[in-house]
Amino acid sequence: MKLTYRSTMLACYNGYVTQAICINLAPLLYLIFQRQFALSLGEISVLIAANFLVQLAIDLIASFFSKQINLRFCAVFAHLMSVIGLCGLSVFPHLLPPFAGLILAEACLGIGGGFTEVMISPLMEACPTEGKSGNMSLLHSFYCWGQAGVVLLASLFFALFPSEHSWYVLPFLFALVPLAGTVAFCIVPVYYLPADKKKDGQGASLLSNSLFWSFLLMMFCAGAAEMVMSQWASSFAESALGVPKSVGDLAGPCLFAVMMGIARALYGKFSNRIALEPLMLLGCLLCMASYLLAAFVAIPAVAFFGCALCGFSVGIFWPGLISRATVRLPQGGISMFALLAVAGDIGCLAGPSIAGSIADLFGGELRWAFCFAIAFPLINFIALFLQNKKKKGETK
């Protein structure tokens, strides 16, 4: 069978599922780690930070050394490190002191996830296809399916194998996904963006461009708007709506991820009929409405609808901004993808943290945190409106 750009696209889809596994599997095991390895909450927090900080470091390194990056090598290396990190969750705590072993596994997952985040989008964008923005949206939907799949499959696994030590098998099973990606990227065609074929790097020049800084701000807000609801939905459902934790986990983060995936898949399917800019503006308005529904309607069904609407509304933010930046800043290349990932990741970390601090100021009441979170889609709405107005002025 002849491998074509379609084979590359399938490998990219697998890559985003891999990233979802690298980010979302370990948190499901933190309570088990705490019990079996006698870890403190502080050590659990360090595990969370290790994965994020390594991913952030990879994003920054890639942004300023894009000319030295071989896309095929990095894609294979990313998946291989993901395999090592997943298997390491089960193996390293028995080869090293448990905490050190888990830190090493999280670092490997961070390396794998970081390279995946930076490399897969430009690999997809460079494929010789029409409807670039739709393809990018569809690609990012696979992260959502991966996130929901990790939660559902892990829940099913623990329901079938409730033994305290059965969890050791789970990371090995999920490691089959990046293992398939490792093989795939060894053989599929690899394409480069025009900017990445040049010899000069772009990281420094991008940082002197005011339009690029507006994209960084919007990526920060996109990550924050997404993760405030995603991370706090389960706790909100349990504390404010009084539903059981199991229901909150499924109807909160899992429902959020599924609706976000549906939004991205739908735009990927119908992108040739729908203009991206108005859709993103509408997404900002729907996101603000979703946070208001979740905050002020005490009926659980309506509040969960707000959670689902939030997932649907933010679905187009991340891939849509990448597509817009690629068109408006064609000289960006891998450097641009990496720096946008940095801004989005910082937003993913800062948004929930700020929202949690706001809730603390109001006695732990998450409704006020959701009210504050409206600022993120509002900023994006204003920035998108100003960008479009400036673009129209330049074309006259």
**Which CATH superfamily, name and number, covers 1-192?**
MFS general substrate transporter like domains (1.20.1250.20)
The single residue listed with the structure tokens 């976000």 is 260
Give the pLDDT confidence of 289-327 residue by residue, as tens digits: 988 888 787 677 777 788 888 889 999 999 999 988 888
Same fold, 1-192 and 199-396: yes
396, pLDDT greater than 60: no
Report helix angle 210-239 to 333-361, nearest 10: 40
Residue 108 near residue 90 (C-beta atoms within 8 A): no
Q: What percent of the chain has pLDDT above 70?
A: 88
Q: Per-domain residue ranges for the chain?
A: 1-192, 199-396
Residue of higher predicted confidence among 251 and 156 = 156
pLDDT of amino acid 252? 65
Residue closest to 151 by CA, chosen among 222, 53, 55, 252: 252
Whole-structure pTM value = 0.85
| pLDDT, tens only, 360-393 | 787 777 778 888 889 999 999 999 988 887 766 5
How confident is the model at residue 84, as a pLDDT? 96
State which CATH number among 3.40.47.10, 1.20.1250.20, 3.40.190.10, 3.30.300.20 fits the domain covering 199-396: 1.20.1250.20
User: Mean pLDDT in the chain?
Assistant: 84
H helix runs in the chain, sequence order: 5-36, 41-64, 71-95, 98-126, 132-160, 169-174, 176-187, 203-206, 210-239, 245-249, 255-270, 276-296, 300-314, 317-328, 333-361, 366-373, 375-395
Instruction: Please tell me the predicted confidence (pLDDT) of residue 105.
Output: 94
Q: What is the mean pLDDT of residues 90-114?
A: 92
pLDDT of 41 over the 60 cut:
yes
